[in-house]
């Protein structure tokens, strides 16, 4: 016989800003059903579109997804990563 148990427990822990940002990217990736196994930069534009790695790989046109990606990048890099950012090197996230 199988018995199902529901256990509730308070757990306390800490995440750095970068870890929290990467967790947000992971959630977005799961929601979009995209596997980013290369760890590429997630970038946005001013129109609410989201891209991975370069402008040719558009993964979303949802402004809410772009807002989550911007928030994640602020936590990871201390600023959003925009497609027209002159400092963007188009390299995988470290």
* DSSP for residue 82: B
**How many angstroms separate the CA atoms of 36 and 53, rounded?**
10
| Residue 93 included in any domain | no
- Residue 5 pLDDT greater than 80, yes or no: no
| Residue 59 included in any domain | yes
Q: Token digits for 67?
A: 């807002």
Q: Is the pTM here over 0.85, yes or no?
A: no
Per-residue pLDDT tens over the stretch 54-80: 888 999 999 999 999 999 999 999 999
| Residue 2 included in any domain | no
Contact in structure between 51 and 57 (CB atoms under 8 Å): yes
* Helical segments of the chain, H only: 17-31, 63-77
- Residue 91 pLDDT greater than 50, yes or no: no
Q: Of all residues in the chain, what percent carry a pLDDT higher than 70?
A: 90
Largest CA distance in the chain: 62
Q: Domain limits at 25?
A: 17-77
| Residue 87 included in any domain | no
């Amino acid at each position: 016989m199988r018995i199902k148990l529901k256990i509730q427990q308070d757990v306390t822990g800490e995440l750095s800003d970068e870890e929290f940002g990467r967790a947000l990217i992971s959630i977005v990736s799961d929601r979009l059903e995209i596997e980013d196994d290369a760890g590429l930069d997630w970038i946005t534009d001013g129109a609410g579109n989201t891209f991975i790695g370069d402008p040719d790989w558009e993964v979303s046109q949802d402004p809410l997804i772009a807002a989550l990606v911007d928030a994640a990048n602020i936590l990871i890099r201390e600023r959003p990563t925009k497609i027209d950012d002159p400092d963007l090197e188009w390299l995988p996230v470290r």
